[in-house]
Structure 1
Amino acid sequence: MLDWNPDLYLKFEKERTLPAKDLISRVEIVNPKRILDIGCGSGNSTHELKKRWPNAEIVGIDNSKSMVEKARSLYDDTKFILMDATEDLSPLGKFDIVFSNAAIQRIPDHENLIKSFYDLLNDKGVLAIQLPLIDEVEAQKALYELEYVKKYKQYLDDKELRFNTKSPDFYYDILSSLFNPNSIYIWTTTYTHSMDSLDDILKWYESTTLVPYFDALPNEEIISNFKNNFYIKLKNVYSPRPNGSILFNYKRLFLVASK
């Protein structure tokens, strides 16, 4: 199976880290002792947690070997573990903050997943999650259209390609069954990223969302053809601004709750 490309992912480190910073800013704990970063990737969100709470013990977990290796090479002051979020995480112990930035959207059954995160929290601990609302992104709608093209459909039909992000109401109902409703904060933000060209949007997708598509396609020729057709669809969706930049709007959902 193809793995993530950390270097390509970090080409957009500023844009990818901004939601993590915004999520961290809403966590109202002064001096947490232990923090868990679920789906830490290349460690950029974990590093932001370390900057906010330098005295805390922070553990980052991710199921991508290449991402964990990259995180270890960049941030040797933090513990990174190759581990899937759906595993039993209880051996890691309890935490004052359980944090996850753009990581659980491909995992099914968010109700039980969030309950498992809740069980990792100390008393008065905080759960903080950010999820991309990918179905509202124009590039994603263009990508979905390719799933129905005959030459690709036969390879993509039985694959888990769609994200599992639900509505804010869905998450409120889960959180309010676990946390004091007065401690729950849910909001959305649309980030408008200024890209130099359509190539940048394509590279953004190549580092993450396109990986399972490429993994499902049988050979490099079809992968290249798929990528070219996706680029053509992007041209139909995004128009350059007068200065030549492309505005890439990306909506995200934020969840914060205190135990």
Structure 2
Amino acid sequence: MAHTWDPGHYLTYAGERGRPFVELLQRVDADAPATVVDLGCGPGNLTALLAQRWPGARVTGLDSSPEMVEAARAAEPGLAFAVADLRDWVAGDAPPVDVLLSNATLQWVPGHLDLLPALAGRVAPGGWLAFQVPGNVDEPSHTIRTGLAAEERFAAHTAGVAVPSSHDPATYLEALAGLGCTVDAWETTYLHVLTGEDPVFTWVTGTGARPTLQALPDGLREEFAAEFRRRLAAAYPTRPYGVVLPFRRIFVVAQVPGGVDR
């Protein structure tokens, strides 16, 4: 079952979600790129930062979700957005771009490590490939979902649903350095202090847990959500100042040399 995205839900805690994008962008040392592509642009609020950083560039946001692209076009009418699957775009024959940035998207592409040569190949010589992926799959926010989805009452519906996955920074560094790129790779664990009712549940059901919930039929979905909510609340207790969500992120910025096999 293909899942859909809810831009409004996704934008809950937009500040916390956007911070890694800003920190990734700061490490891209491109002076005056002519073409910039945001691969997996979501609702477009962060794509606008690319246009601010490089006002002379032609900035394009691409996303496989029609809902996200519709929201992006409404929010940022001065920018270009299109519906496109990442894998189809990589396999296409459009001219190379000067900056290719992908924020919190590659984790949804199975086998995305094998796509890195093709992604680098879509960047012009001397250009930049930058991406950020979550690295928190071992945290309760993910392991609770995995365990609950595997229970007998849910397993028949949740087997095979999309779940995010990623690699350590060293793995990405080795893969891109092997292509001749100059690579800067690092990780950061944010301690997001969230407020509101069941904030971790709100966070994960806007992203990583969304496909699981959509795969469940009415009745079971509500049963799953209630138990998921209860277990998350126990794992992430409310403190006087809010709920702390540790969130590990993996960052990679690579400059592509002229010698990369295109």
TM-score bin (small chain): over 0.9
State the alpha-carbon separation in 2 of the partners of residues 100 and 44 from structure 1. Answer: 14
**Alpha-carbon distance in 2 for matches of 1:47, 1:7:** 17
What RMSD, in angstroms, separates the aligned Cα atoms of the two structures?
Answer: 1.5
> Which has the higher mean CA deviation after the structures are superposed, 85-94 or 227-236?
85-94
User: Cα deviations across residues 54-92 of structure 1 (Å, max 9, x unaligned)?
Assistant: 111111110000000000000011110100001044343
Q: TM-score, normalised by structure 1?
A: 0.93
Partner of 1:208: 207
Unaligned runs of 5+ in 2: 257-262
Query: Are the counterparts in 2 of residues 129 and 254 from structure 1 also a CA contact under 8 Å?
Result: yes
User: For 2:239 and 2:28, how far apart are their aligned partners in 1?
Assistant: 36
**Shift in Å at residue 239 of structure 1?**
1.4
What secondary structure, in the 3-state scheme, does the structure 2 residue paired with 1:134 have? coil
Contact between 1:45 and 1:101, CA under 8 Å: does it hold in 2? Answer: no
Q: CA offsets, 1:1-42, max 9 Å, x none? A: 441000111122111111100000000111111101100010
Candidates 229, 254, 257, aligned match of 2:254 = 257
Q: Deviations over 1:221-249 (max 9, x none)?
A: 11111010101111220112223x10111
| Counterpart Cα distance in 2 of 1:93 and 1:60 | 16
Structure 1 unaligned spans of 5+: none
Alpha-carbon distance between aligned partners in 2 of 1:78 and 1:15, rounded to the nearest angstrom = 23
1:111 and 1:202 map into 2 onto residues whose CA distance is: 29
Give the distance between the partners of 2:255 and 2:65, measured in 1 at CA.
29
Q: Which residue of 2 aligns with 1:8?
A: 9
Name the residue aligned to 2:112. Answer: 110
More helix by share: 1
Match of 2:47 in 1: 46
Alignment match, 1:196: 195
- Between the two proteins, the alignment pairs up a number of residues equal to 254
Q: 1:43 to 1:88 in 2, by over 3 A?
A: closer
The residue type equivalent to 1:255 in the other structure is: V
Cα distance, 1:198 vs structure 2: 5.0
Question: Residues of 1 paired with 2:139 and 2:243: CA distance?
Answer: 14
Distance 1:192 1:214 in 2: 26
Q: CA deviation at 1:137?
A: 2.7
Q: Tell me the TM-score normalised to structure 2 length.
A: 0.92
Task: Check whether the contact 1:39–1:101 (CA below 8 A) recurs between aligned residues.
Answer: yes
Structure 1 counterpart of 2:236, which letter? Y
d(CA) in 2 for partners of 1:242 and 1:150? 37
Identity fraction in percent: 28
Matched residue, 2:157? 155
SS of equivalent to 1:143: helix
The answer on whether the counterparts of 1:2 and 1:212 sit within 8 Å (CA) in structure 2 is yes
- Structure 1 range deviating more: 114-123 or 97-106: 114-123
Q: Runs of 4+ in structure 1 displaced over 4 angstroms?
A: none
| Structure 2 Cα separation of the partners of residues 208 and 100 of structure 1 | 16
Equivalent-residue separation in structure 1 for 2:41 and 2:245 (angstroms) = 24
Residue 253 (structure 1) shift: 0.1
2:206 aligned partner, one-letter code: S
Structure 2 match to 1:238:
236
Paired letter, 1:199? D
Q: Tell me the residue number matched to 2:173.
A: 172
Q: Which residue of 1 aligns with 2:259?
A: none
Q: CA deviation at 1:164?
A: 2.8
